[in-house]
Amino acid sequence: MRRWVTAAATTALAVALVGCGPAPWNVPSGGGVGSSDAGEPAPSPSISRTAVPPPVPNDLSSGSTERQVTAGSVSGALNYWSDLSMDRWSATALKPVSLSLVTTVSPDDGQKVYLQKATMIAVPGNAEGDLSPLAPTSDQSATNPGYLVLSPYSYSQTFYVGEVPEEATFVTIRFTYDFLVQTTPTSSEFAKQTATDSITVAIAAREVDED
């Protein structure tokens, strides 16, 4: 009878010991019972992104651009274009910019509007900022008081942008227009009004010679 009791007690103790820990197939691979990273997802690999430079602005990408300027009582309608295709607007090329200008005046009491002078300054630049401006170019009227630009009469001119630094990716072309407006339709006195405008044109990338 004692042998049977002893055997039963031994069997119960063995069952109790087995129930104290997890089964071997439930232990995570590479970790013990107390491992803290059991069941956690693997970290995602880091992804490096290369910054994409912003596109270069080009107001003449469609061939021409129209603008409106105002100087006091004078309103001017401008059209800019270039006879040189955009793929040939290189840093070393002589780059023409043509414009036409016509004005109206308000109130229109019959006084005339004259363009005394038109000035262009080209400022090359890139993503880091403006570079040194080129020398200004002006068209000063040889007649007094100036070129008649009141509609239907208009003014047309071509300016040229010279060589710019190789690191330039665009050029900002700034225009200043000096108008003289009759104070009355019969007066020989004039009021001066000044309008400014600018366009930006991309510089064509330099072709790399392949050996």
Q: What is the CATH number of the domain that holds 93?
A: 2.60.40.1470
- Is 103 contained in some domain? yes
| For residues 81-109, average pLDDT | 97
User: What is d(CA 84, CA 63) in angstroms, rounded to the nearest whole number?
Assistant: 10
**Structure confidence at residue 35 as a pLDDT band (50, 70, 90):** very low
- Is 172 contained in some domain? yes
- Is 177 contained in some domain? yes
pLDDT at 203 over 60: yes
Tell me, what's the pLDDT at 191?
A: 96
Is the pTM higher than 0.85?
A: no
Residue 167: domain span: 64-202
Tell me how far CA of residue 175 lies from CA of 46, 81, 179, 192, in angstroms.
50, 14, 13, 16
- Is 144 contained in some domain? yes
- Is 147 contained in some domain? yes
CB 159 within 8 A of CB 81: no
Specify the DSSP class assigned to residue 150: B
pLDDT in tens, 50-69: 556 678 889 999 999 999 99
Amino acid at 92: T
pLDDT in tens, 106-138: 999 999 999 999 999 999 999 999 999 999 999
Q: How many CB atoms lie within 10 A of CB 208?
A: 5
- Is 197 contained in some domain? yes
Q: How many domains does the chain have?
A: 1
At 1, list the tokens. Answer: 């009878």
User: What is d(CA 195, CA 141) in angstroms, rounded to the nearest whole number?
Assistant: 16
Tell me, what's the pLDDT at 184?
A: 93
- Is 3 contained in some domain? no
- Is 71 contained in some domain? yes
User: What is d(CA 1, CA 26) in angstroms, rounded to the nearest whole number?
Assistant: 40
